[in-house]
Structure 1
Amino acid sequence: MGEAEQRDGLPALRAVPRRRYTNGPTPLEHLPRLSAALGGPQIWIKRDDQLGLTQGGNKTRKLEFLVAEALAAGADTLVTAGGVQSNHCRLTLAAARREGLECHLVLEEDLVLEDGPQAGPATGSAAPGGNPPEFTGNFLLFDLLGAEGVEVLPQGSDLMARAEELAEELRTQGRKPAVIPVGGSNDTGALGYADCAWELLDQLAENGLPSRQDGLAAMVLPSGSAGMQAGLIAGLRAAGSTIPVVGINVSRPREEQEPKVRALVDAVAQRLDLPPVPAERTVALGDYVGPGYALPTPEMVEAVRVFARTEGILLDPVYTGKAAAGLIDLVRRGVYGPDDTVVFLHSGGVPGLYARTAAFR
């Protein structure tokens, strides 16, 4: 499946403005030592931690469409929001630097977790290290990249309400701001992963791997703001692929996350003139969140160490670490067995690892 064939697969996507921040597809790599260590399926990894912009990550695909939309509307400033260690905010700021735009960030303090084991509702005891110190990880990069404004609000604040309010303040100063949602996860941002579905199917074919459920057991990925999972589900549906896209939730229980993902799947499908996507295509497992978003769990710590020590690949503690913990548990419980093939999507976020070192003490 070549480039022209990919574009023909999603004709509505060709008409959408887009910037390019990555030079070519990200690698799809086999992980033989991890696969052997787990004694389960053959595991492959899609390296979206190697996407373009500062330190990479899945938000780069979303921003190619979101920033193009902002530029088409005449924006000279980007305003967005996220956690104090937000990968999305880092990459939005990096895109602003690339485009010569101003960028203002509205951040939310992390939940405070005492420096010691505490009981969590889903996975038992939580590891320490949930409240990162200032000026580490992504927060350091906000300073190095020179954000024009950084506001840190208390936990539980309405970040997007403040972002809209800030945008209005900037308009009164003569700026032309574009507000980008948390995680870049609206129907525009999710187009990045509808497109990625075709890139991934092309790579499966190049590696002699199947592109249907009867040959590929699942694609496993973190599920948070939902744009990556929703875009992939819609893109695979458009391509006629039946590979399950299994989200591992990082912030919500299953009963809350799946409707969120489905709503975005429907919005993307409508945007791309696709037929409705069956609700059962959305699976977002809530068993691995632990005590809360961005709060460590022992299973996450183990997963990060296993990936590092078997394959030399670093995961982050908020997204990919918990998603990998979910994958490892599913393998150990026999959900994916020795005859299966699974693709794990690395969504990036590694700078956050250096802000949460206490979790690994």
Structure 2
Amino acid sequence: MAHPPVELGTFPTPVEPAPRLAAALGLGPDDLWVKRDDLTGLGGGGNKIRKLEWTVGAALAEGADTLVTTGAAQSNHARLTAAAGARLGLDVVLVLRGSPGVSRSGNLALDGLFGARPVWAGEVDRAGLDAAAAAVCERLREKGARPALVPFGGSSVLGARGYVRCGEELRRQVPDLRTAVVALGSGGTMAGLVAALGADSVLGVDVGALPDPAAAAAEFAAPLTEETVAPDRLRVRRDQVGDGYARLTGPAAEALRLAARTEGLVMDPVYTGRALAGLAAAVRDGDVRPGERTVFVHTGGLPGLFGHAEAVAYAEEGAVPYDL
């Protein structure tokens, strides 16, 4: 039985109409709505708060005094784990891919502000990152600490329960929902939505965080629903990864500018920018159609925009001086 969640966020998050963005994408003015999970409150907001309520709740129930987690230098999950630790009086150690001084991510700045301590694992793969985190936990135990390892991206069957709740909110807020569009990274967010809404109602846009994100989402969703969840049953777009997770793609850059200039919404270059580019592609190829209610799940990530050199340069190029 799952431990009860700890309250960290502000819920339910609002759902807002996006008629100008809808028109730009080729949808009707009432077709597109945005689920504002960038407004979850703690630590700058974002989708990871819903997962952390469950994973940190379990850590507290088991007597942990230190949270350890993993991620890339620009990890939104690492930032919000740091914020959760600060809120609850827990130490936080972040095992990050890369080396100190290479990244200037806005998330790293907030990690430090929240008091989290980084451990740099070098240019390792996911298995190497997991091994580094396990070694950190062992050293902490030797020093008398009681660490809890929070999974990569906050994604697990337990963490996905946070997005079951989000899916339940959406059913109440948008009863005629046809498709919820969301970034697909480590799999937990999509898994919870699939468990609540059904596989046919969720479109995940792969951001390149895992080799097989559909398998991860299916694995996390299966225990949370009575339906059979197989990877090939999930609606997943894999056409937005481009040159890799950390690189800004042309379609994502266009999506950043489009959301900002039609609705005043800020996307990030890794997750929501790719997800919105995936939605645009889905409209073009008929997977998302006019006349059907679509919700774009805005999972946050704004701090990751700052310090992403390609995205900042692209944004600044758009500021054309006004010729008076």
TM-score by length of 1: 0.81
Tell me by how many angstroms 1:21 deviates: 1.5
Task: Name structure 1 gaps, 5 residues minimum.
Answer: 1-11, 111-131
Tell me by how many angstroms 1:225 deviates: 0.2
Q: Which amino acid aligns with 1:183?
A: G
CA deviation profile, 1:214-258 (whole Å, cap 9, x unmatched): xx2x11110010000011111224xxxx752110000168x8222
Task: Name structure 2 gaps, 5 residues minimum.
Answer: 318-324
Distance 1:35 1:357 in 2: 29
- 1:219–1:243 contact (8 Å) kept in structure 2: no
2:306 aligns with 354
- 1:245–1:281 contact (8 Å) kept in structure 2: no
Runs of 4+ aligned residues of structure 1 deviating over 6 Å after TM superposition are none
2:57 equivalent among 38, 62, 68: 68
Distance 2:104 2:231 in 1: 42
Tell me by how many angstroms 1:281 deviates: 4.0
Tell me by how many angstroms 1:335 deviates: 3.0
Q: Secondary structure at the match of 1:222?
A: strand
CA deviation profile, 1:282-321 (whole Å, cap 9, x unmatched): 1221111001112111111000000000000000000000
Distance 1:135 1:313, change over 3 A: same
- 2:15–2:173 contact (8 Å) kept in structure 1: yes
Is 1:109 the counterpart of 2:94? The answer is: no
Distance 1:165 1:300, change over 3 A: same
2:122 aligns with 154
- 1:133–1:355 contact (8 Å) kept in structure 2: no
1:84 equivalent among 54, 61, 73: 73
CA deviation profile, 1:133-165 (whole Å, cap 9, x unmatched): 644410111111111x21222222411111111
CA deviation profile, 1:188-230 (whole Å, cap 9, x unmatched): 111100121111111114xxxx14xxxx2x1111001000001
Q: Secondary structure at the match of 2:278?
A: helix
1:244 aligns with 201
Distance 1:23 1:35 in 2: 27
Is 1:20 the counterpart of 2:7? The answer is: yes
2:47 aligns with 58
Matched residues, number: 308
Q: Secondary structure at the match of 1:79?
A: strand
1:116 aligns with none
Tell me by how many angstroms 1:20 deviates: 1.1
Distance 1:73 1:337 in 2: 47
TM-score by length of 2: 0.89
- 1:231–1:265 contact (8 Å) kept in structure 2: yes
- 2:180–2:295 contact (8 Å) kept in structure 1: yes
2:110 equivalent among 141, 145, 167: 141
1:268 aligns with 224
- 2:153–2:186 contact (8 Å) kept in structure 1: yes
- 1:221–1:345 contact (8 Å) kept in structure 2: yes
Instruction: Give runs of aligned pairs for residues 85-234 of structure 1, distance below 5 A.
Output: 85-109=74-98, 134-147=103-116, 149-157=117-125, 158-205=128-175, 210-211=176-177, 216=178, 218-234=179-195
Bigger relative contact order, structure 1 or 2, given CA contacts below 8 A and separation 6+?
A: 1
Identity of aligned residues (%): 44
Q: Secondary structure at the match of 2:174?
A: helix
Q: Secondary structure at the match of 1:248?
A: strand
Distance 1:296 1:56 in 2: 22
1:113 aligns with none
Distance 1:170 1:198 in 2: 38
Q: Secondary structure at the match of 2:57?
A: helix
Distance 1:136 1:186 in 2: 26
Q: Which amino acid aligns with 1:52?
A: G
Q: Which amino acid aligns with 1:69?
A: A
Distance 1:75 1:17 in 2: 15
